[in-house]
Structure 1
Amino acid sequence: MHLLLFMLSCFVVGHGSNAWSVSPPQRLSTRQLAGWSVGQAVNTTSGPVSGHGAANLTDVSEYLGIPYAEPPLGSLRFQPPVRYEGTTPINGTEFGPSCLASSITGNATVDPSVYANITVTPIAVGLMLEINEWADNQSEDCLTLNIWTKPQTGEEGKAVMVWIHGGAYVSGGSAVEWYNGQYLAGKEDVIVVSINYRLSIFGFPGNPLSRPNLGLLDQRLAVEWVRDNIGLFGGDPARITLFGQSAGGASVDLYSYAWADDAIARAFIPMSGTATGFGLPTNLTANANWFNATAAAGCGGFKDDHQRVYACMMGKTGEEIARNIPANTVADSGAGLPFGPVVDEAIVFSNYNGRKAVEAPMLIGNTHNETGLFRIMAPTIPESVLAAVNDNAFTCPAALRAAESVLQGNPTWRYRYFGVFPNMVLSVQPESGAWHTSEVPVLFNATPSDLLPDTPEEAAIGSYLRRAWATFAKDPYNGLTELGWPEYTTTKKSLVRLGYDNQTGPNLAVGNKYDSACQSIPVIVVSATTTVYSVSTAVIPSLADEVIPPSTLGVSGR
């Protein structure tokens, strides 16, 4: 199942401490904020960086391609990231390259005849062309981040939203135009940061001679950079929210466990991705993937001397390695994505059931028809399999994680996105619906309006999403409540349906309404006094709109 999920979705520093790594974060004074000039030079730990006005909102300062780690080249390939510190001026007016992706994400072809039973729209063709163009600029020297800020107006010490992109851990990058943060920053009075992290075999090598999960360590180092520098851009390092989608959403959730005692971030938004939803392979599986790739690169396999294999891979160019990764790299384990997070019991764990996560509010959810995208990518996959992927990789993991967050006493909100708009429709027969990633360009106000203009409903829902996400980031304990969102429980009308019938605002459903395929979800009840009750795992009750009395659930106070 997870191998299938990878095949479909690929188309689309160690633990820290509370001590500041460089020096305590600095903040701009009121006078400095009032005198802010768009794109002015900012003296960061990476060096002085100059930006410019964002393309569409020119009063928003945009800083692009800021290095946060040393280039992972030479002896740093396949090694944990090293903090970048410099004094050379940085021209922050262009995005840095995306990290090298697996060749299997860019070289796949599909026989047009397989679409005989699917009515694909011209919009889908245009979207696929845009997706392919995103991979044009790639390099191993890719560990950069981008900032959008408007410190001259609004709050002093703004909330900060750090975006982690998706792409099945093998593709994507912060330069994707769907992730441009200018509208969130300019209209919602927050700072938006987007980051690159190593992908595929470079970020998750499975090499038995080096540490796993390098891409996750990259993400952590980027968050540390934000903590240490964002005050100079008008942000508050104590008000950081992590948000991401797909593999980025899973990364956000993994982070919440990996650094539970030193999270830096104070709120989390995993979108269409959780720590466990895509499976987590063991080191044995990761090693098999590594040696499949080394053999394909001409460096030998598992039976050869591992040091020599590693030395050979170090001698290859990054492009040679990426180009030669075989499409069948995934070991037949039934779990995990190729070159994705692997269980190491340090930052990725074998058992998340009851594991302590960061004590922080969470907003979590997914789209109504995630596999509407995957049907276009692999049109021969049976509908029954696609339905199972929708439940097993997205809906049920979101339900479980939301329940776990509530049980740990964290304010939690759960959403489900339904929006369907003409310029985001991939197929009309069968209907693509609210497909995997379809909410992202709406959230960032980056829909393909060049292909077809936004409808008024689409624009309104996009504005509402930005307001809701930013409100949560500004006040993760009370903000959404003030917007009319109830905290999540499984037994009351607390699931917030977004874009339902393309209407703006929250539309409420019983918390477990879409969870019938999920076998065991904790039943969560929150009393009127907000006391959280924990319960033993139970089979999901019926989807009738009724409140199940706590007395029937074996509830124990907590």
Structure 2
Amino acid sequence: MEKQLKLLILLFVSSTIDSTQEKTEIIHTTSNGCIQGFRNEYAEVFWGIPYAKPPTGALRFQVPQPFKTEEGQKNEIFQAIKPGHGCIQNCVLPIGACPETISEDCLSLNIYRPKRKCDQALTVMIFIHGGGFVAGASAVPLYDASRLVHLTNVIVVSINYRLGAFGFYWNKDLPGNVGLLDQELAMKWVQRNIHSFGGNPSNVVLFGQSAGSTSISCHLQNLVINNVHKPPLFHKVIIESLPIGVPLRSIESATVANNAFASLTGCLSSNDTTLCLQSLPSDVILQAQSLAEGADLLLEADKLTAGQPWEPTLNLIAFPLIYNHANFFAQNSSRIKIPILLGTVYDEGTLFIYETQTSTINYTDLQGYIGGLWNKENIIPINQAYNINFTLGADYHDVLSQILGDNVFTCAARYVLQSLSLYNSNLYLYVYNYLPNINTTVAAYGNSSAVPECYTKVCHESELPLVFNSDFVLPYKLTLEEQHLSQLIGKAFTNFAKTGNPNCPLSVGDEKWPRFKNTTGQNILLTLPKSFIESNHRGAICDFCNTLGYDF
């Protein structure tokens, strides 16, 4: 099966660079001169458009510099017909989410627009991929938006950004958080150029999943706290599976991780650490990055950030962040007036617990994890809330998965919207709870999944094949029922992008999405055979989690 998937993706990529393929009209842009893409069955696609100069040499670890077409090349046509390189990474994601090639010269974006012409400028949706800030790319089969734009009449832009140490290492001479600055520069490119593709720069929504949603939370914080962009770079947000309960890196924690990384490269003791790091081959950086992740797993063993040193850091100058997610939303709720659609999947914690804890978790282990991750004084209250009792020989993987899913994702999402709903009426909450057919599951997790439990549970990232409804992920089609659910999700997301309301327009037979109100706590539960409205999803447990807080 894995060989079949690789062959399919290679065929998909090679077909897009066939010289006989139908080309689009030539697009004249402000930043990149002339660009030409290709047409597939559903859409016009422009792949690998550079938005920044290659961040190599002296630009490694530095603030990204805008791409500019040289004067003598402005009349040359850039052929945007093959995927740009993914950023440097060791990708362990499913094959449909990993780039075919990697390079430091990776700061590019992709544009998908409907083939049919429209008299008015189209809503623009900018997608930020997940992957724990260490893996993933934009121009991969899982995120192919051709069919989505065909069915919903929007423009989708997907972006690459620097990952791992390349995007999030910093020292006294380097700014840090440059992966976020990459994303910001891509948004600025959209503002300057998307009108040339028929897009409306005044109606832009950010959407992303996992690390992509963390990025969106950071950009929203930058917008609200620092008020740096006028007009704003985006106007609405769709946030999928935001790990609200996982804190951003403190300067103290990040400094330890950064020093460990620099030491592993041999550059920490150099007279000029930055110059030394900038002169190393990228594969040396990548190897040291992986070793630093292992060291961090030991140093931060009792924290939710363990083994994840390459995340945004608080209180840096270049991209200033002062709040963790939950505190940002709670303490600034009166200032956050932007429409927000927020959602989780039903079994958010399963992937993380089964992926990292491969041996049996007994009762004693469980108590240690609870005390380590959520403080020792909370062991007894958590045991009582989840009705945890000692059973000889029992495995507590599922119990720990549920606790993690509630405290990091599900209940934390409800808490955020409860805070915001006092001042913001444009809030929507979904819970995705559909266990797809095996072919769709392979699209999300791969054929030889390290977490077979995700074939029987609705795990983190399981909604993605249905969000994009891509024909290019697998040699299989979605079932008719899955097509219906996929189109319902796609229509709701794009309606929200266009109007701030997932119901506008609403088709006959579709379940109406309720606005989130603190009084009812209603969400839509996305499932088959039919989605429905819930009140107060996991209410009693979430009330308890609120008493613990979400800032550990």
Q: Is the CA contact 2:124–2:199 (under 8 Å) kept in the aligned structure 1?
A: yes
- Structure 1 residues 324-333 or 208-217, which shifts more? 324-333
- Does the CA contact (< 8 Å) of 2:502 and 2:513 recur in 1? no
Is the contact made by 2:206 and 2:216 (CA closer than 8 Å) also made in structure 1?
yes
Of residues 302, 325, 332, the one that matches 1:355 is: 332
Residue 293 (1) aligns with residue 261 (2): yes
Tell me: CA distance 1:96–1:515, structure 2 relative to 1, closer, same or farther (3 Å). farther
419, 428, 434: which is aligned to 1:413? 428
From 279, 285, 295, the equivalent of 1:321 is 285
Match of 1:466 among 468, 490, 496: 490
In structure 2, what is the Cα distance between the partners aligned to 1:475 and 1:153?
A: 20
Alignment of 1:380-391 (within 5 A): 380=359, 382-391=397-406
Range that drifts further, 147-156 or 265-274? 147-156
Return closer, same or farther for 1:48/1:448 CA change in 2, 3 Å cut-off. Answer: closer
The 3 A distance-change label for structure 1 pair 449 and 74 is closer
Shift of 1:63: 0.5
Tell me the alpha carbon deviations over residues 479-514 of structure 1, each in whole angstroms, 9 at most, x when there is no partner: 458562110024426211011xx124x410113435
Q: Which residue of 1 aligns with 2:365?
A: none
| Aligned positions of 1:6-155 closer than 5 A | 39-57=24-42, 60-87=43-70, 88=73, 89-101=77-89, 103=90, 106=92, 128-131=94-97, 134-150=98-114, 152-154=116-118
Q: Structure 2 unaligned runs (5+)?
A: 1-21, 362-396, 442-448
> CA–CA distance in 1 between the matches of 2:496 and 2:486?
15
- In the other structure, the counterpart of 1:156 is 120
Alignment check: 8 A CA contact 2:86 2:99 kept: yes
Is the contact between residue 443 and residue 462 of structure 1 (CA under 8 Å) also seen in structure 2? yes
1-structure distance, mates of 2:39, 2:59: 34
TM-score by length of 2: 0.76
**Structure 1 position 269, deviation (Å):** 0.4
Aligned amino acid, residue 348 of structure 1: L
Any idea what SS the aligned residue of 1:296 has? Answer: helix
For 1:222, give the aligned amino acid: A
Question: 1:340: how far off?
Answer: 0.7
Q: Identify the residue that residue 346 of structure 2 maps to in structure 1.
A: 368
Deviation at 1:293, TM superposition (A): 1.2
Aligned length: 455
2: CA distance between counterparts of 1:193 and 1:512? 33
Matched, 1:475 2:499: yes
2:180 to 194, 204, 216: 216
Give 1:361's aligned amino acid.
Answer: P
Give the RMSD, CA atoms, in angstroms: 2.8
> Aligned match of 1:271 in 221, 240, 243?
240
1:341 alignment partner, one of 299, 309, 312: 312
Secondary structure of the 1:347 match is coil
Aligned counterparts of 1:290 and 1:538: Cα–Cα separation in 2: 31
1:491 and 1:510 in contact (8 A); partners too: no
Structure with the higher helix share, 1 or 2: 2
Unaligned runs of 5+ in 1: 1-36, 107-126, 522-536, 540-558
Q: Tell me the percent identity.
A: 28
**Structure 1 runs of 4+ off > 6 angstroms?**
426-430
Paired residues for 1:523-542 under 5 Å: none
Q: Which residue of 2 aligns with 1:525?
A: none
**Does the 8 Å CA contact 1:49/1:63 hold for their aligned counterparts?**
no
CA pair 448-94 structure 1, distance change in 2 beyond 3 A: closer
Is residue 2:515 matched to residue 1:487?
yes
User: In structure 2, how many angstroms separate the alpha carbons of the residues matched to 1:476 and 1:198?
Assistant: 30
CA contact (8 A) 2:125 2:204 kept: yes
Find the residue that maps to 1:419 and give its secondary structure. Answer: coil
Deviations 1:128-150 (A, max 9, x none): 4545xx24411111110000112
Are residue 393 (structure 1) and residue 408 (structure 2) matched?
A: yes
Displacement, 1:265?
0.9
